Amino acid sequence: MYRILERQDLTPNIHLFKIDAPRVAAKARAGQFVILRQGENGERIPLTLADWNKDEGSVTVVFMEVGLTTKKLALLQAGDALTDFAGPLGLPTHIENYGTVVCVAGGFAVATIMPIARALKEAGNRVITIMGARSQSLLFWEKEVGRYSDELIVITDDGSNGRKGLVTEPLRDILAKEGNGVTRVIAIGPTVMMKFSSKTSEPFKVKTIVSLNPIMVDGTGMCGCCRVSVGGVTRFACVDGPDFDGHEVDWDELMARQRTYLEQEASSLAQWQCQRGACAQEAR
Amino acid sequence: MAKANLDRKDMPRQSPEARAKNFEEVALGYTPDLTAFEASRCLNCPKKYCIGGCPVGIDIPAFIMALRENDLPRAARVLKEKNALPGVCGRVCPQETQCEAVCLLAKQKAPIAIGRLERYVADWERDHPSSEKTVIAPPSGKKVAVVGSGPAGLTCAAEMARLGHKVTMFEALHVAGGVLMYGIPEFRLPKDIVQGEVEYVRSLGVELELNAVVGKIDNVDELLSQGYDAVFLGTGAGLPLFLRVPGENLSGVYSANEFLTRVNLMKAYRFPEFDTPVKIGKKVAVIGGGNVAMDAARCALRLGADEVSIVYRRSEVELPARREEVENAKEEGIKFRFLTNPTKFLGDAKHQLLGMECIEMELGEPDASGRHRPIPKPDSAFTMDCDVAVVALGTTPNPLIAQTTSGLHVSHHGTVVASEATGRTNKAGVWAGGDVVTGSATVISAMGAAKRAAADMDRYLRGVEQTPA
Ligand SMILES: Cc1cc2nc3c(=O)[nH]c(=O)nc-3n(C[C@H](O)[C@H](O)[C@H](O)COP(=O)(O)OP(=O)(O)OC[C@H]3O[C@@H](n4cnc5c(N)ncnc54)[C@H](O)[C@@H]3O)c2cc1C
Ligand SMILES: Cc1cc2nc3c(=O)[nH]c(=O)nc-3n(C[C@H](O)[C@H](O)[C@H](O)COP(=O)(O)OP(=O)(O)OC[C@H]3O[C@@H](n4cnc5c(N)ncnc54)[C@H](O)[C@@H]3O)c2cc1C
Ligand code: FES
């Protein structure tokens, strides 16, 4: 039984679950993920560990509602249980004292970046964090991330909080200003955002680590669904990653593979919503 | 001896037209009459070759004699003495190369249908659960960890539990059964049957921990230091091989493992009732020639593809799949393109698969495996349309256990090195068996290896180091 100990709504469609999973908590490291499944007919989906507490035996995930599974998850409350929960999977993010690191987080990935920023800080790095979202209502954890950041830059597409624009803009500014002073960029968020963050840092030749999110099934290296081309070599994101060098990733291929089930996902979501009465109203 | 009856009875099957459209079991099983007739053919030879042909040594004549006397409980008991998974083995074992191959009647091409009789007894037992409990030895006070819950893990766990040891079985996925659940399709091996046999193993007192990836949670060294007296590795050979040609990561190109896992384990054939989707091709190409390729092709057909082809680089005689399954596939309308090898996957501007560039092959001299080596024919390149391709070239063990177990001896193929007779690895307290040792093989060979390992683990745990004479 993987009981939900606590639920928080960080934004209207980004939720946090603290889950009772002592076995996962005992081994969790920054950058790793779990695969969970909800319901006997459910799909296996990966979510990154946002936090964990070994003493309490709990781990925290933060997820955004995008399709059927995440919308089903969003219906659960504290006290409910998840059907399956396996982890910690993937390799931990490599942490050492690099000097100055820029962390770039887009959308829900602020939660993903948290344990990484904390580990970087603990390793003695100077951490600059850029967090971006479409608008103010989608931002969360400014204070929390701020605690592990020497500098925090907030940016929104519409300018409703912080600077107006995309995360790549402050990233370019920092790299231009500090030059070789920045020794590493860690960018996590939607695939396009990671792609353009990598493109932004490439001319500055600053090593840029991204956390890839291809579609997965087992998450243990058995199916090959999560394969990505990195530096011309096929790697399995679930066991060789999810962290890779963003300058070497074949982004177009990754995005194409992510779109494989677009139509089917849309139709099953529509059908599910229909069963729950959402389309009956429309038809009336 | 009476004159041998060579009239071996076929097993009723769904018609090819009907079964190509559903995931229900193809073979329907013997009726009581067919069973009685088939059992009556057994010569009950003084020298029982068939037992020697069975990797787990089932007393085959004894269960057939019980069947002949219509004593089904006894037949079931004889089977279960040596085989915890008779319903599985009666369906998927390659009997034609094992027990049935050495049956005296095989010389006249009509061996006793041992597998079908085994299946009949197992199914009868399932419908008539006996009150008779398997005898379990008094507790030994020893703890055993079994890693992986495929045929090897299940067999080792059942044996060790019967011998009185406390067994915990760790499984990475959310259900137990290994390839029996995620690889072999429902229409060859119904998942209820597998789960019934998993339940039997649990009924012996085996604890099952699902969602537990050993190496990511506690590794083997930690299990040993935390109170397990012995560890059995039955982690299989789950890592898929690819062709390593351009375009292999296009959307629409699957490994057989992914395709079959989506369809069988996640039940994508019932999408959207089940949430996991799979791409339903119009033209599907399956690359390879083993059981896995046949299974993938037949799944693709049942999902509703217009045309499914098996693309194999050698000729029909070299197909490694079971004959019965090749025949089933042909009857259902799967096409075969022999002596053909893909050299490139072709996609559109959106990285969606459109087809494959292939070359024709011809057969050269036999290679180390004794099979004719396929050689590319010059100037024979051509393209073949397909919107889904499934690569079924075989698998090797997942490196996770090797990477996280200190000092474990692993071959350059990635397989764990273990004694064939005892399953012992070079690491004290660690045994291994099944596909993780041999590479992809068969259900029954994995079970045989697990039994030999269990016997040796038991001797070790009881402090009897030498095999008694
Ligand atoms: C290692 C890893 C860690 C992840 N961590 C998080 C996390 O911490 N929080 C979080 O909210 N999400 C995370 N994701 C993404 C998350 O797994 C997907 O959002 C989820 O699978 C969508 O499932 P769904 O059924 O709700 O939507 P679906 O109906 O499956 O998909 C809806 C839309 O999302 C896209 N999509 C599907 N799968 C993915 C994917 N794996 N990544 C990106 N887009 C996808 C589809 O193309 C489609 O457009 C992670 C993904 C990976 C691989
Ligand atoms: C599609 C297909 C069709 C086949 N058809 C036939 C057939 O008709 N007849 C036949 O005899 N054989 C057939 N085989 C082969 C047969 O299924 C295998 O030889 C057999 O399953 C091997 O058993 P195993 O127990 O060694 O491994 P597996 O069945 O592979 O089981 C290994 C288990 O270990 C788990 N595991 C792996 N790593 C870890 C870890 N670190 N921690 C915890 N758990 C772990 C896996 O999730 C899996 O459940 C087929 C195989 C395939 C793929
Ligand atoms: S998700 Fe199956 S191999 Fe990575």
Place of tokens 């180390």: B368
What is the whole-number distance in angstroms between the Cα of residue A226 and the centre of ligand 1? 12
- Closest Cα partner for B429 from B51, B145, B75? B145
User: How far apart are the CA of B238 and the centre of ligand 2, in A?
Assistant: 7
On the question of a cis peptide bond just before residue A203, with omega within 30 degrees of 0, the verdict is: no
Answer yes or no: is the C-beta of A224 below 6 A from any ligand 3 atom.
yes
Confidence check: pLDDT of A284 > 60: no
DSSP notation for B82-126: H-S-HHHHHHHS-GGGTGGGSSGGGGGT----HHHHHHHHHHHHH
CA distances from A154 to A56, A135, A197, A212 (A): 32, 10, 15, 23
> What is the rounded end-to-end Cα distance, in angstroms, of chain B?
36
pLDDT at B369: 77
B293 and B310 Cβ atoms separated by less than 8 Å: yes
Output phi, psi for A105, to 5 deg.
Answer: -125, 130
B186 min Cα distance to partner chain A (Å)? 16
Structure tokens that stand for B372 in this block = 């004719």
User: Residue B168: which of B149, B150, B181, B152 has the closest Cα?
Assistant: B149
- pLDDT band of residue A280 (cuts 50, 70, 90) is low
Reported as a pLDDT band with limits 50, 70 and 90, residue A283 is very low
CA of B451 vs chain A CAs: smallest distance (Å): 26
**Residue A2: closest CA among chain B residues belongs to which residue?**
B211
Q: Is B152 in the pocket of ligand 2 (CB under 6 A)?
A: yes
Q: What is the pLDDT of residues A71-130, one digit of tens each?
A: 999 999 999 999 999 999 999 999 999 999 999 999 889 999 999 999 999 999 999 999
Name which of B213, B265, B345 to mutate to probe chain A: the one with the most chain A Cβ atoms within 10 A of its Cβ. B213
Cβ atoms of A47 and A8 closer than 8 Å? no
**For residue range A184-217, what is the model confidence (pLDDT) as tens digits?**
999 999 999 999 999 999 999 999 999 999 999 9
Chain A residue with Cα closest to B211: A86
Listed residue (A232, A237, A224) closest to A248, CA to CA: A232
Q: Is the CB of A45 under 6 A from ligand 3?
A: no
Would you say A254 and A228 are in contact if contact means Cβ atoms under 8 Å apart?
yes
Residue B2: its pLDDT value, please? 54
Q: Can you name the residues that pair with A16 across neighbouring β-strands?
A: A8, A62
Please give the radius of gyration of chain A, using alpha carbons only, rounded to the nearest integer: 19
Give me the residues of chain B with pLDDT under 50, please: 1, 467-469
The confidence score (pLDDT) of residue B469 equals 39
pTM of the predicted protein model: 0.94
Q: Which of A68, A84, A224 sits opposite B211 (nearest CB)?
A: A84
pLDDT (tens digit per residue) in A31-62: 999 999 999 999 999 999 999 999 999 999 99
Tell me what ipTM this predicted complex has. 0.94
Residues in chain B: 469
Percent of chain A with pLDDT over 70: 98
| CB-based contacts of A72, cutoff 8 Å, min separation 6 | A38, A39, A42, A272
DSSP for B256-284, written as a single string: HHHHHIIIIIS-GGGTTTSS------SEE
In this prediction, residue B339 carries a pLDDT of 96
